[in-house]
Amino acid sequence: MDSKEKCNLYPELPVKKSDDNQGSPPPPYESPESESSDDVVLPIPVEGMALVIKAADFAARRHRFQKRKDHKGTPYINHPLGVAYILTNEANIYDPVTLAAAILHDTVEDTKTTIDEINSLFGPEVAHIVDECTDDKSLPKDVRKKLQIETAASHSFKAKLIHLADKLYNIRDLSRNVPQGWDTRRIKNYYKWCREVVNQIRGTNETLEKALDKIFDEKC
């Protein structure tokens, strides 16, 4: 059997099996050769890198006591970092504002962070995108889900990118870490709802949409 298997969350990333070369140091990183100049990835400017790292530090602090709803109790910070990973490694999005907003996208919805605080620390554009990605927790869950479908098309391009990456991360995660208490019907309804949201923002990023559609076709 092949010594490597694909990670469900990041299909392009091979991961070693747990019993393969335990204790061995990881091989040195080697950047893949580009087939053309169009494939060359330009580095994020220093200021942009600082913004992304600041966002990661802030999100890690605000989500530090939170866990995902799966049976493993996965640290919640894995999710926003995973969304940013999908944007960079699959959608080739390197805009620092988009990445910072992706990392921060659940801080207002799921912690005591405010939009004013995000605006003060990260600027108005990041704050606006985070606001677009934030559900109003004072509303019933079914109303919030309906509003996501109804409002997604009116959101900014950068917010739409985050919506796509967020949904992709979540449905991949669902295939390996089912939230506690979810039965088959609820899982299927979640896939259908995600597809409805994605249908409102098609044309945003072909790569992410194809990855989502592949899963929708299998699960819906």
Residues recognised as catalytic: 109-110
Query: What are the beta bridge partners of residue 4?
Result: 16
b/e string for 16-38 if b means 16 or more Cβ within 10 A?
Answer: eeeeeeeeeeeeeeeeeeeeeee
- Amino acid identity for residue 198 in this structure: V
CB contact at 8 A, 103 and 52: yes
d(CA 145, CA 102): 19
Tokens found for residue 52: 């992304």
H or E element, residue 105: none
**Distance linking the first and last C-alpha atoms of the chain:** 31
Tokens found for residue 75: 């640290």
Tokens found for residue 198: 């994605």
